[in-house]
Amino acid sequence: MPQGLFGFPDIRSMELVFDKEELPFMWLREQVQDGLAFVVLEPGGIVQNYAVEISDADIQILGISGSEDTMILNIVTISSEHPGKISLNLVGPIIVNRTTLVAKQCIINNHEEFSARHMIDVGDTEA
Amino acid sequence: MLILSRKIDQAITIGENIEISITKIEGDSVKIGITAPRSIAILRKEILEEMQSSNKAAAAAAMPAKGSLVASSAKQLMAQLKAKKADDRKNSPPQPLSTAGN
């Protein structure tokens, strides 16, 4: 993660972990105690008509050539006041090169088509 | 900060290969043309700021205590997706793989 994340420019490395119970949500977290953590998900099958266009510069940094070696992760915000509504950042996905595991949060070129706070109503949660 | 006065169609250059020109002035808004190598990221600043604040909000919300919240949101979301898939199947039955007679 050579350039960190927006707002967290010093983060260089995070791990992606998941619990079967929580899928499709996964955790992207720093490998330290009480480090930074995000809930993320892969948008495939969840966000309709989501397409990501990223700049040549980003493609170069990531070293990706096509969708086969690429993973897209959208950061999820789960509000504790409204646990039934989650919000996805579709404008700034984290793109991962599956082979080299180089990752970068990219602002997509087609950002005007998508929301940085794409709401999904998941209904009442029991928590 | 360096502040320069420019008229319409006048430009400034930054370094060897970045040029910024004023193309239109309308009321309180200015159209700016930028020529730069593709490797230079050009962003509206408010988008960058939105990403920063969105990341901070997401990180703050993702406290370890939220584990159970994630699990229950996940359950709900999966149930919804399953219901939707079942719905889609109902509305458009799968096409046969091959037609008889071939």
Inter-chain CB proximity A127 and B47 less than 8 Å: no
CB contact under 8 A, A7 and B53: yes
Contact (CB<8Å) A107/B76: no
Cβ atoms of A96 and A70 closer than 8 Å: yes
| Separation CA A44–CA B59 (nearest Å) | 22
Q: Pairing state of beta strands A94-97 and A85-88?
A: unpaired
From the candidates B34, B63, B66, B69, which should be mutated to test the interface with A, based on the most A CB atoms within 10 A? B69
More confident call, A64 vs B89: A64
Residues near A64 by Cβ (< 8 Å), separated by ≥ 6?
A70, A95, A97
Q: Is residue A104 part of a domain?
A: yes
Q: Please, which residues 67-106 of chain A have a Cβ atom closer than 8 Å to chain B?
A: 75-80, 83-84, 86, 89, 91-92, 105
CA distance B11 to B34: 9
Mean local confidence (pLDDT), B64-89: 68
- Residue A6 resides in a domain: no
Distance CA A7, CA B80 (A): 33
Confidence of residue B41 (pLDDT cuts 50, 70, 90): confident
Q: Over its length of 127 residues, how does chain A's per-residue pLDDT go in tens digits?
A: 999 999 999 999 999 998 887 888 899 999 888 788 899 999 988 888 999 999 888 999 999 988 889 999 999 988 777 767 789 999 999 999 999 999 999 999 898 899 999 988 776 554 4
Q: Are A67 and A43 in contact (CB under 8 A)?
A: no
The predicted pLDDT at position B91 comes to 64
Assembly ipTM: 0.87
A44: tokens are: 């495939």
Q: Measure in Å the smallest separation between the Cα of B7 and chain A Cα atoms.
A: 29
Q: Is the bond leading into A24 cis (omega within 30 degrees of zero)? A: yes
The number of distinct structural domains making up chain A is 1
pLDDT range class, residue B16, cuts 50, 70, 90: very high
Supply the pLDDT for residue B102. 43
Residue B97 confidence (pLDDT) above 60: no
DSSP string of B38-56?
TTS----HHHHHHHHHHHH
Mean pLDDT of chain B: 81
Structural domain of A81: 15-121
**CATH number for the domain including A100?**
2.30.290.10
Give a yes or no: residue A5 inside a domain: no
Would you say residue A2 lies in a domain?
A: no
